[in-house]
Amino acid sequence: MLPFRRILFPVDYSEPCKAIVPYVKEMLSRFPAEFSLVHAYGAEALAYSELAIADPDLPAETRAIQEEKLRQFAAEMFPGQHADCLVGCGEAGSVIDDTVEHQSADLVMMPTHGRGPVRRFLLGSVTAKVLHDVSAAVWTGAPLAITGHAPHLPYKSILCAVDGTPESECVLRAAATLKCMYGASLELLRVVEPMPPTEYDMSAYQRDRIEAAKAGLRELQAAVGVDVPHSVIEGRIADGVRDEARQIKADLVVAGRGHSQGAFTSLVSHLYHIIRESPCPVLSV
């Protein structure tokens, strides 16, 4: 997990993409990692093109043009930084996934793009696909969390959100490592969702759940060997993380993705809502 040894930066030349360049530079300054940029260009431009049939060299020429454009972007945005510039023809999420595997990248840094509620939550969001598919850690943030203010660098306040699963130890260890590297403050958070409506009084059971969550956070800190402020709050998970991040003026949220349980769907669903609503970038491990 940490330290990161190869960082991958997917590039689509958008403004949100350019806006995270300072964050990528900051991460590269903290870790002696190898660095790659990747750009996915559309297969539809060639798949049914009569020009491609007439000129068999066109696909290679198109790839060369895309590679040169990416090298120019790297030179402009990361002067003096060695970077491998990789391009792939196909759907962006798949190209990123393949590149992570072939490059053995352990961190992907990318923005997320919101384009309407149906598209962003259900239909092929590149960020959602990367969060679901890749094994590497993913640093990302909604556009307002990145472009809405100047970069909060270096990180001074980190919020670690855990869910009580075995993965929580890995998540807290990652957050604690970043705390030490940045000299940042760290707070540990567990959000307990309310009980569903029922005809029975479940308040006592809910209080027991909250007390158990508090005990779990104390045990988690003991296992990792850290002693940081921690809290348990009741509410919708994304709302709780957002509100606490605002309360402590967090510059980064660290959360899990469900790798240890193999239960991607439900956890990624919560994580994507966290990312959409977080006032700062989110690192999911």
pLDDT of residue 265: 41
**pTM recorded for the entire structure:** 0.87
Cα 271 to chain centroid distance, Å, stands at: 9
The pLDDT value recorded for residue 56 is 47
**Highest mean pLDDT of the ranges 53-62, 210-219, 255-264:** 210-219
Bridge partners (DSSP) listed for residue 179: none
C-alpha 285/C-alpha 283 separation (Å) is 6
User: What pLDDT sits at residue 259?
Assistant: 57
**Residue 11: predicted pLDDT:** 96
Give 179-194 as a 3 state SS string.
HHHHCCEEEEEEEECC
User: What is the average pLDDT across 175-192?
Assistant: 96
What does R_g of the chain's alpha carbons equal in angstroms?
A: 21
How confident is residue 276, by pLDDT bands cut at 50, 70 and 90? confident
Six token digits for residue 279: 């006032």
All structural domains of the chain, each given as residue ranges with its CATH number in brackets, are 1-139 (3.40.50.620), 152-285 (3.40.50.620)
Tell me what the mean pLDDT of segment 55-61 comes to. 63
Predicted pLDDT at 152:
80
